[in-house]
Structure 1
């Protein structure tokens, strides 16, 4: 059975195809490729049990840990580079 394995870094992606025997698991794929990233996902869904059986055509993603909380990083960028205030025309007064 063929599965695709993927891992990525900022600006770089590594993709390979593995030919595994029927009934192979995520752990088997990890052992064959030798990658040691701590998080594994299949088609973007995180896998906690590496004994999960793979199916033909699965995309196994080896993910690294986040180095920063994305929301906190966005807050810091916004504080250092605030958007310029735009001038808005006053709302017209409604006549009664």
Structure 2
């Protein structure tokens, strides 16, 4: 009996480079299975594939160990944010308010 296989993509963008890998996985493979099989961990040893945040087509996956991949999906590995966007906006608004108060 021939085992059914699926083709998926794994993408990761580091600060200095990005990679898109095509991976063939058996039907029923999970997101973490596809990550391990992709070899992205060998290219980026700083990645902890067992716990890194991931998503599919821009939507975060809550449990990558249970989520089964479908043919043609793009698994994205997310980096931690360098700055909290809410904090950056708050600081920018405070700076603008301060500048406005000085100019009046």
If the length of structure 2 is used for normalisation, what is the TM-score? 0.65
1:28 CA drift (Å): 0.4
Tell whether 2:21 aligns with 1:16. Answer: yes
List runs of 5+ in structure 2 lacking aligned partners. 1-5, 42-46, 100-104
Q: Distance in 1 between matches of 2:36 and 2:23?
A: 11
Q: Distance in 1 between matches of 2:35 and 2:56?
A: 13
Tell whether 2:82 aligns with 1:67. Answer: yes
Greater helix content: 2
Q: Report SS of the residue matched to 2:26.
A: coil
Match of 2:10 in 1: 5
List runs of 5+ in structure 1 lacking aligned partners. 84-96
Could you say what the CA RMSD is over the residues aligned between the two structures, in angstroms?
2.5
Q: Distance in 2 between matches of 1:77 and 1:14?
A: 33
Classify 1:58/1:49 alpha carbon distance in 2 versus 1 (closer, same or farther; 3 Å): same
User: Which one has the largest radius of gyration?
Assistant: 1
Q: Distance in 1 between matches of 2:68 and 2:58?
A: 16
Tell whether 2:40 aligns with 1:36. Answer: no
Q: What is the count of residue pairs matched by the alignment?
A: 83
